[in-house]
Every structure is written in structure tokens, then in C-alpha cells.
Amino acid sequence: MIQKEQVFITPFSTYRTLHIHLPQDYKNSTERYPVMYMFDGHNLFNDADATYGTSWSLETFLNSYDKPFIIVGLECNHEGNQRLSEFSPYTFSTPYLGHVYGKGDQLMDWMVNELKPYIDSRYRTMPLRECTGIGGSSMGGLMALYGILHYNSIFSKAACLSSAVFGCKEKILSEFQKTSLSPDTRVYLSWGTKELAKSVFQDQRINDMKMLVNEFTARNASAIFRLIENGQHNETTWGQQNKAVFDYLWRS
């Protein structure tokens, strides 16, 4: 069951759509559920809502998965390059993306201090850190990575698929120096073998993911990197990982 509702993002003084998945028996039970906060909510559940016509088919997967969740998907800003700005916690420049003025730190602060309390008060969640995760792909994967590092007291699990760390790798690495990770932290990272045309860039991104795994494990957290054979930078590839993501984060 997907519900859509408008929420006010205080630091940006604007409304945005939430795409919220509730378990099938939500209305007929009193059970409380773990929560995953995810980016690009419009691309998660229904092809009709997805930017390029294909979603992760996450609702179909969850309806047959034997562990129920609430998923809170935050739709991105579709105006110009505002998605890049709002989904980057850092300001950086690259030849490919140009100059990105990062506002993701403000967005994440809002998610932790306003959105999560709102969701916990409105829905039957398990609000504890151990029952709260964060996830996304591409720039959303970068935000999930930032979230698990910068707000490790809030999130215990992160799904970081095809994370766009190439423009701010040093800044992400500096986050590891600022935080103390709980040993129950679990992070899923992935990259597809056909995401980039040039093999040299592919090798760099794969090495970046392996480096991040090493940084997490060096701090007694758990992390895994999956190289997706023939995987591309799109919702089809990310949706194919639904089971792997949820199994690793919530069952291992």
C-alpha cells in the first residue's frame, strides 16, 4: 500500500511529496515496523511515477518479502539541477556535473530532526536506531552514505547503490575521522560493470567502493561491496538488488 502526502521542507521553504509504503496488513494490525528512509521516492514503487518509466518495483518485492517494513521515500526536486544540489551534502565541481552547490547537509538535518519525528508520530514505527535505515542510489546513495556516517546515532543501516562519491571522495573520507561508528552498523554498497563507458573510470569507482568498505570495517562496522555483472546506472539494476539489500541489512 502506497500513500502519497505533501511535507514541508523547512530549510528550503517548499513542499515535497513523500511516497510511503505501508505493509499490506497495516490497517488491520497494531504491529510496529522498522523504517527505511530512501531518496528518489518516485522511482521506488511504481513505473508510472518513475522519471524514466521504470521503478525499483520495491512494493512488489516487499509484498512478498517475509519481513514487513515502512518505507519513506522522499521525492527529489525536479527543477534544473536542484536534485544534485539537494542530494549532495558537499559543494564540489567536476567536468561532468559542473559546479554543485551542496545543500544535502541541510536536507539531512531536516530529515533527522523534523521528518523522522513526524513519521514516528504519524505511523506505527519502531523508532529506535536499531530499526531505522537509510538508502538511495547515485546521488541518493551519496546521501545515504553521508547519513550513516554523520548521523550514526540515528541510522544503523544504509543501502548505498552506485553512490556518486567521485566529486567529493576526500570529504566523505573526512567523515570517517569525525564519527564513532557503532559496531552494529551495516552498509551495503554496489556498482554495476556497465555503469560507465570508459574502463578507467569504472576501475576508479570500483576501487572507491572497496575503499569505503575498508574504512567501515576498520572501524568495526560491517560493510559489503557487490559488483553487479552487466549492471547499469538505472532503476532496473537497482531494483534487481532489492533482496540482496534487505537480506544483508536486516538478516545478516
C-alpha cell at 162: 552506485
Instruction: Supply the range of the domain harboring residue 233.
Output: 2-250
Reply yes or no on whether the pLDDT at 222 is more than 90: yes
CA–CA dist 86, 26 (Å, integer): 32
pLDDT average, residue stretch 42-65: 97
What are the tens digits of pLDDT across the range 178-215?
Answer: 889 999 999 999 999 999 877 778 999 999 999 999 99
pLDDT of the residue at 115: 98
CA–CA dist 232, 240 (Å, integer): 11
- What distance lies between CA 239 and its chain's CA centroid? 13
Q: In the chain, how many domains are there?
A: 1
Domain with residue 242: its CATH number is 3.40.50.1820
C-alpha cell at 182: 557503532
CA-to-CA separations, 95 to 166, 167, 176, in angstroms, rounded: 11, 10, 26
- Name which of 72, 88, 70, 57 is nearest 25 in CA terms: 70
Contacts of 118 (CB under 8 A, 6+ apart): 7
Residue 24: CB atoms within 10 Å = 14
pLDDT average, residue stretch 217-236: 97
pLDDT of the residue at 223: 98
pTM of the model: 0.96
124 phi/psi in degrees, rounded to 5: -85, 80
What are the tens digits of pLDDT across the range 109-120?
Answer: 999 999 999 999
What are the tens digits of pLDDT across the range 143-182?
Answer: 999 999 999 999 999 999 999 998 889 999 999 998 899 9
